[in-house]
Amino acid sequence: MADQKRWFKVWTSILSDDDFDPSIPGVLSSVGRFVLLGAYLALHGSNGICDIRKEKLFTMLQVKNIDELHAEISLKNVQFEEGKSDNSKFTVIMKNWRKYQMDSTGYERLKKHRKQKNDNGTREEKIREEKIKIREEKNKPPLSPLSGDGKSDVLLERFNLFWEKYPKKKSKGDALKAWLKLNPSEQLLETIISTIGRAKTSKEWQKDEGQYVPYPASWLNAIGWEDEYIPAQPDVSKNVQRINEVLAEMEELDAKGRSEQDCLEISSAIS
C-alpha cells in the first residue's frame, strides 16, 4: 500500500523513460494524466488495480471517448480493460505497482525478513527456475519435419544420414524427436557421423554382437558423440583357430596325395 493511501510516488527514473521523452509533443499532458491516474489508484485501488466508471475516467483524464483515451494514454505500464460483465466500467492496471509504490522502508524490511527466513532462498529460487525451464522445454512442441520449410527439410535430410549410419535401428520416432530438439548444424552432423564410425569399432559397441549399443535417442540425448571410445583389440584366438584349421586341411590333402601315389606304384609293380 502506498503509505496508507496518502500519496503516489513518481520515481526519478521517469526522466529516462521513453514514454515521457521531453521531445515528444504533449508529453507534459501525459505526465499529468499519469500522476493523476496514479493518485486515484493509490486512493481507491489495490496493488495498482482499480475499477472505475467510464464517465469518471474520461472526465478525470479529459478525453471524450475510448479511442481518444487510447490515443492520449499510450503508456507501456498502464493498461485499460473494458469490463466483461459491466461494459460501463474500466479496469485500470498500473504494472509494477508493488515495486514502485510500496513503502520503501517496509519493502526493504520485508525483503530482509524473507532472506533471513530462508538462507538458501537464492539457491532454491534458481532451482525452481531451472525446473520451470525444464518443464517448458519438455512441453515445447518439437519442430515438425513435415512443415515444408527449407530448414525442416535440411534437418530431416541430416537425420536420415544419421539413421543410416547408426548401427541400432530402434525407436526411430524417439530418435527423430531427439534430433529435432538437438537441431544440429552441418559441423555437428559431421562430428556425430565421424564419432559413430569410431564407436562401431569400439569394444563397447562390438561386445556381445552389439547388444550394448545404446538406442539412438538415448545416445543423442546423452551427447554420446563426446564420449571416449576404446578401439576393440583383434580377436587373436579366432585367427589362430582358423590357421590351425587350414593346416589340418593341408595335412589331410597331403596325406591323401601320398596314399594315391602309393596306390599307383603298387599298380605299376603288379602289371
- The answer to whether residue 269 is domain-embedded is no
- Per-residue pLDDT for 271 more than 70? no
Give the domain-ending residue among 226, 245, 266: 226
CA distance 252 to 271: 29
Residue 89 and residue 108 in one domain = no
Query: How buried is 163 (Cβ within 10 angstroms: 0-12 exposed, 13-18 middle, 19+ buried)?
Result: middle
Pair (88, 116) in one structural domain: no
Within this chain, do residues 20 and 92 fall inside the same structural domain, yes or no?
yes
Average pLDDT score, the chain:
80
Q: How many residues does the chain have?
A: 271
Q: Which one, of 91, 86, 61, lies nearest residue 73 by Cα?
A: 61
Type of residue numbered 151: K
Which pLDDT belongs to residue 219? 95
Domain assignment of residue 266, yes or no: no
232 in a domain, yes or no? no
Dihedral, 40, 43, 45, 49 alpha carbons, nearest 10: 40
Domain assignment of residue 56, given as a range: 12-101
All cell numbers assigned to 141 = 512442441
Torsion, CA 37, CA 43, CA 49, CA 53, rounded to 10: -70
Q: Alpha-carbon distance 5 to 42, whole Å?
A: 5
Residue 256 located in a structural domain: no
Residues 212 and 156 occupy one common structural domain = yes
What residue spans of 102-215 are helical by DSSP H?
Answer: 104-117, 121-139, 150-165, 172-182, 186-200, 203-206
Based on the fold, state whether residues 83 and 115 are members of the same structural domain.
no
Domain contains 204: yes
Residue where a domain terminates, one of 139, 159, 193:
139
Residue 121 sits in the same domain as residue 176 = no
Cα–Cα dist 178/225, whole Å: 14
Lowest-pLDDT range, 54-58, 117-121, 141-145, 234-238?
141-145
pTM score = 0.36
Instruction: Evaluate whether residue 260 is within a structural domain.
Output: no
Q: In the prediction, which pLDDT does 171 show?
A: 92
Task: Give residues with Cβ within 8 angstroms of 198, minimum separation 6.
Answer: 229, 231
User: 72 and 83, same structural domain?
Assistant: yes
CB 92 within 8 A of CB 52: yes
Same domain, residue pair 47 and 122: no
Q: Angle at the Cα of 50 (from 45 to 55), degrees rounded to 5? A: 120
Residues 187-220: pLDDT tens digits? 999 999 999 999 999 988 988 888 889 999 999 9
Domain count across the chain = 3
33 and 83 share a domain? yes
- Whether 2 and 9 have beta carbons less than 8 Å apart is answered as yes
In a domain, 6, yes or no: no
Neighbours of 159 (CB within 10 A): 22
Query: What CA–CA distance (Å, rounded) separates 237 from 126?
Result: 56
Strand partners, 82: 90
Average pLDDT, integer, range 83-103: 79
pLDDT in tens, 134-191: 776 666 555 554 555 567 889 999 999 999 999 999 999 999 999 999 999 999 999 9
- Higher pLDDT among residues 164 and 254, named by residue: 164
Res. 45 pLDDT band, cuts 50 70 90: confident
Residue 255 domain-assigned (yes or no):
no
